[in-house]
Amino acid sequence: DAKTTQPTSMDCAEGRAANLPCNHSTISGNEYVYWYRQIHSQGPQYIIHGLKNNETNEMASLIITEDRKSSTLILPHATLRDTAVYYCIHNPNSGNTGKLIFGQGTTLQVKP
């Protein structure tokens, strides 16, 4: 099964950019990188996904290295409400198979 490696926890000051790294060295050529976050006791929330190119949406930016073995999720101006567990996953997008393999994720604590 697909495996990713993320730091267990990170702190970030409110208003600063939060950069969350992820190692996915076993990613296959057709697999996308997905990021989700989970705020305590809620279901995971989709943030962003990408294949090769960097991506940006209203929530975050995703930077994928050229060899695709790692990526960084960037929250440009972290707020207290961004405190959550962030999961990086790689998954084939073909057919939208729903088998997401979650690791332990990174607990991001945004501090005032």
34 touching other proteins, by CB under 8 A: yes
Query: For other proteins, which is the closer residue by CB, 26 or 111?
Result: 26
Q: Which among 7-15, 35-43, 58-66, 72-80 is the span making contact with other proteins, rule CB under 8 A?
A: 35-43
The secondary structure of 37-97 as a DSSP string is EE-TTS--EEEEEESSS-EE-SS-EEEE-TTSSEEEEEETT--GGG-EEEEEEEEE-GGG-
The footprint of other proteins (CB under 8 A) covers: 32, 34, 36, 41-46, 49, 87, 93, 96-105
